[in-house]
Structure 1
Amino acid sequence: MAREINKLTDSMVRAAKSEGQKRRKLADGGGLTLVIKPESKVWWFRYRFGGKEKTYSLGSYPEVSLKDAREGRDAARKLLAQQKDPVTHRRSEGAKNLSAASNTFKAVAEDWLKLQKGQLQDSTIDVTRNRLTKWIYPHLGSMPITEIEPPLVLQVLRKIETKGKHETAHRMRQRISQICRFAISEGRASRDPAADLRGLLKAVPAQNRAAITKPDELGGLLRAIEAYSGQPATCAALQLAPMLFLRPGELRKAVWAEIDLKGGMWIIPGGRMKGTLKAKRAGLVSDLKIPLPRQAIEILKPLNQLTGKRPYVFESIKPGRPLSENTINTALRSMGYDSETMVGHGFRATASTLLHEMGWPPEIIELQLSHQQRNQVAAAYNRSARMDERTAMMQQWADYLDTLKKGGSVVPFKTSKGF
């Protein structure tokens, strides 16, 4: 009896959902199957060739419609009738005739991006898609991924380099390689042309974020911050930025539940700290404890009266949202500090430089900066370690900033109490 084909309808495909985290399969017949995952729907053509069961990917829904998938299946079945393996044939000159629209570099890249949902942070996925759209798709997007060769990839990456975007060029080579390896795993390509380009791009020039590290200049900046007139949350964030020297994102996204004003401690959960999503899920990114000096508590208490009943400490003018990522830098520009002189992230370099000059042990400074360590177990422990010393350092640092702000002695003083 002949196998029944064309069991699915457009509405069935559109409405199909996975069963929790498990894959679900819907057969259309003739070897065509829709594989439904939590993050995607992919068309497979399953067949036997040379005594082995094989799978031929026809692309993702909705980019590849039910009609397109059936056309791809029928084309593959014709190849089988000619004793040709569809997967092998796709790697040959005739591959473009088999659902070519679903096998362009852009189509494969978009399928790969969908699979990164839950693996990479949403912001990382957005940045990657924007970079692909700006730098890669105009040159490689419409090409069948099987036809992309290393010289062409290098030519595209060189164009990025000529714009001075060396880090972007390196990152795009990595992404192209990941996309091609994904295509190989699905039988949509046979090689990774970006892998042959390792070591051929120019090294990324060392770049230090603009930061003021001279005590007298820092004193001037602190006085400018003190005189800054803006909304209370912005003023408070500006005053705390040099004192606590957190990463800008860690500061502006602070929530009141993290801060114990009575105990003088701010604990940032590991989920908000710098680190990969994979490491955070594995519990390898630990909480960071920030001992709050007296001056920080004095800044936070009145702010608590304004925003304490809502989640975010530094709430923007739009209720329920934190300050934007540009707020601190915009305020610095309005005070006359351009991007070559000082940026929000630069307060970390400022503190690191001057705390070293004050004689604090490098390991104490690094712990408070929450710099990642190669040994993740040690990192998880150390973010809570040596709190007595870190508490003393943070208070002495805040006192030192007060001295600079008042125009007092700018000579860094050595640590006391035997630390």
Structure 2
Amino acid sequence: MPLTELQIKQAKPQPKPYRMTDGHGLYLLVNEKGKYWRYDYAYFGTRKTLAIGIYPVITLAMAREKHLEARRLLAQEPPIDPSAHKKQQRTAQKAIVQNAFENIAREWLTYYRPAVNSTHHQRTMRRLEVYLFPWIGKAEISTLTPPDILKPLKLIQDQNKLETAHRVLQVTSQIFRYAVRTGRAGRDITADLRGAIPSARTRHMASMTEPEDVAQLMKAINGFKGSLTVQIALKLAPLVFVRPGELRRARWADIDLEAREWRYMVTKTKTEHLVPLSTQAVELLKTIHPISGHGEWVFRGGHDPRKPMSEAAINAALKRMGYNTQTEITGHGFRAMARTILHERLNFDPYVIEHQLAHKVPDALGAAYNRTKFIEQRKDMMQKWADYIDNSYLKANAS
């Protein structure tokens, strides 16, 4: 009779190991050390045994599925030995791990180390760990394509770090050339990305990523004298780091202060997005609610309350505070500021950050952005980010 889960759970070790048969050669071997799934079969007249796994890590259903896969291999013409097939798969997987981009990059760094000083070596390692390994580190280098390399480079570009993007691309090229020389890649695919990243002299959306600069910016924002609407919008912008258009068109109908959530449709990506609201963000929204809470828009237009706040309001306020919106900070720059500091200073996972930025970043299974993915980590991250912003202001104010 086939085994049942109850029989397996209740099975106790005896003085001698014993078998519990499920049928067609599949059985559970029970001894003092544990319970082990085995499959006895014949391969060209030779009796062999396939180790399937350990119970309860491998459940009864999983063991039967692996058993069926093994029988299918034996049923082929010519038959395939399940044990040999398993060994080949392990060897192939080991080769993939050994030839992963990160492993080859670290190997190259060891090879490269004697030619450079320690500071340059550490800076190169840091760039790889921050900008490349989280995205392509585990991929087998020979399977990577130019678009795979371009994705993390574009993320660096979005932070207004064009010089860094070019340096990371240059290092990637050196790693690929090393892989070609050692027989683990066919060619240097980064050659296909020539011109894909703008010149470092090209203007981009200005941002701030150094903690000292951020502290002074927060001090300036908290001291801004303007309409209450713009004051609140300016203070909320770095806390939620959404796109400027999404902030100025925020609707009260999309905000749940009790649940501390803001849900809306991202125009650019046509996806539903969820912004967990920190304690500080909720307090700011409560402050402006008496003014605009009876209407549609959180931030009403100064001339027509039936319309949202002006598109230029945030940047105009930054200019009034003395900031150059071409070279120092823009309303959009709060996104790059948050992304950089959350990862480099607060050590949050890049995937969690990219989800909070509502970017379509496929995961290991190919699934793109999901508004509720990593939601608990994102709630924690948004509160810690708000606390970091508060502390930056306090430090600047005390100096």
- TM-score tier, shorter chain, comes to 0.3 to 0.5
Q: What TM-score, normalized by structure 2, do the two folds share?
A: 0.47
